[in-house]
Structures are given as structure tokens and as C-alpha cells.
Amino acid sequence: MTLDLEAYRPLLIEYLVRTLWALLVVVIAIAVARAVRGVVVRALARARAHPNVTTLLGNVGQLVVFILATLVILAIYTRDAFGWILGAFSVFGFVVGLALLDILKSFAAGIYILVERPFRIGDTVQVDGGHVGIVQEISFRTTQLRTDDGREVIVPNATLMTTPVVNLTRYPNRSARLTVTMNADELATDVPQRLRDALGGTDLIAEEPPPAVLLRGVTQGTARYEVTVWGRDRDKALGAAVSSMRSRFPEWEVQGA
């Protein structure tokens, strides 16, 4: 029995042409994948994103290009491949998405936090639920805080995206308030200026913004003022303000808020 090559020639030519097209798709995919990775890496570098995020998203961009190229190559060899592969990916993605919904939300939120950097490692933040702590680590799924009493709080990144987060150290100076109570007869003098003068002469209290003095009320022969000061270290600024007030006006009642 002899093999009739002439009968298979059209089929061989057809598959040879398809193979050439497939090789062309591979070459184009490699070039596009490199270009996509370069664009992503440069964009994230300009945004000063975390190196891990830059590497991850660059690789994800390449992977997406190669997946699309694989689908195109399969479609070249099999006409119906594109349809059933897309269907399989859709079903698989739906099932996996439902199973990993919370994890994927936290993962996406982690990428956003690392790229946009609403807070950084070393910042003191207050999250929903009243937790206040110093940011120790930001991963793709969680953010770790260390509280003043040495506890570790692990917060899912998805929570940080859906609830208010207060960055207490975003700006150089933080405010501290204290109350000063005195005899109402003192109102005849320039009390606000006397209070401001008492706060001068210490580096722990910022000059800008200047201390603010407000009269909060006069009841039963006593007057109560609220004084707001600013400093890089809130507790030290408050301590310096209270100490200065008490030494200058020992007859007045001074309380830190």
C-alpha cells in the first residue's frame, strides 16, 4: 500500500500556513508582552510604587498577553477553539471568583494601597473600630498595625478600602488641646495673649500654625478657655504646654485633653 502524498498536499499546505501564522503570533506576542511590561513598570516607577507591586503587575501584563496569544493560536488551528475556551474560562472564572471573592477584594485593595500610598510604613493610623497603631507591614492581603500597648492588629485591606482611615501622621504637625479654667475676674485682662505668651520659648510647640485660644464658657464665676497647640510629637507638645501654663499661672486649673 503506497501513501498518496498528493492527496494530503492541500492539508499539509494548509497546516504549514497555519503554523507560519502561529509563529508570527508568537513573535508579535513576545514583542507586545515586553512592551506592556515596560509601560507598566515605568508607570509604576513614576508613581513610586512598591517594588513588589511593580514586578507583580508587570508579570501580570505579560501573562495576559500570552494568554490572549494562546487563544489566537488555538483559534488558528481549530475554528471552534476560541468559543469553547472562552466558555471554559468564563465558567472557571465565575466559580473561582465566588470562592475567592473576599481574598480577591483584599488583594486588589492591597495593590491600590501600595500604589496610591494613602499611608506608609511608620505612619500612625486609626481604622474603623477604634484601632490606632503604627503601620508595620503592608502586604497584598492585610495591613499590620502595632498599638501603643504592644498588640498586633491585622486588618484586611478590603476593610481599609470600604471604611474611613485616619492618617494621624500624614502632616508634620499634630494638634493637642488643653483647657484652662480661671476666675471670671481675669477676663478684664487680655487672657488670650497671656496664654499665647506662656507657650513661647519651647521647640516642642510649633510656631505655625500658631496656638489658638477660644473662650468656651463662663459659669458660676469661672471662665474656661480651650487652647490648641501644634507639634511634631503631639504628646510632648501637650506636656510642654501644660507645664508652661501651670508654672506661669499656678492659680489657674490647667488640664490636658
β-partners of residue 222 are: 183, 219
- Determine the pLDDT at residue 31: 92
Task: State the Cα angle at 227 between 242 and 215, rounded to 5°.
Answer: 130
Q: Are 44 and 57 in contact (CB under 8 A)?
A: yes
The pLDDT of residue 32 is 92
Per mean pLDDT, which of 104-108, 113-117, 167-171, 248-252 is the most reliable?
248-252
Rounded CA separation 219/175 (Å): 27
Percentage of the chain modeled with pLDDT above 70:
84
Residue 83, all three cell numbers: 468559543
Whichever domain contains 152, its CATH number is 2.30.30.60
**144-165 CB burial, b ≥16 within 10 A, e <16:** bbeeeeeeebebbbbbbbeeeb
Number of structural domains, the chain?
A: 3
Statement to judge: residues 209 and 135 lie in one domain: no
Q: Is 60 exceeded by the pLDDT of residue 81?
A: no
Question: Can you give the pLDDT at residue 28?
Answer: 92
Grid coordinates belonging to 178: 488643653
67 and 127 in a common domain: no
The confidence band for 252, taking pLDDT boundaries of 50, 70 and 90, is: confident
**Residues 125, 203 within the same domain:** no
CATH of the domain at 224: 3.30.70.260
Bond into 156 cis (ω within 30) = no
pLDDT surpasses 60 at 95: yes
Domain holding 144, by residue range, is: 118-167
49 and 12 within one domain: yes
Q: Is 18 helix (H, G, I), strand (E, B) or coil?
A: helix
Q: How many CB atoms lie within 10 A of CB 176?
A: 23
Q: 204 near 147, Cβ under 8 Å?
A: no
Question: Which tens digits make up the pLDDT trace of 142-170?
Answer: 889 998 888 999 988 888 888 888 888 78
Question: Which residues, including other chains, have CB under 8 Å from residue 213's CB and lie 6 or more apart?
Answer: 191, 192, 195, 196, 225, 226, 227, 228
Query: Residue holding cell 468656651?
Result: 216
Do residues 203 and 147 share a domain? Answer: no
> Exposed, middle or buried: residue 102 (CB in 10 Å: 0-12, 13-18, 19+)?
exposed
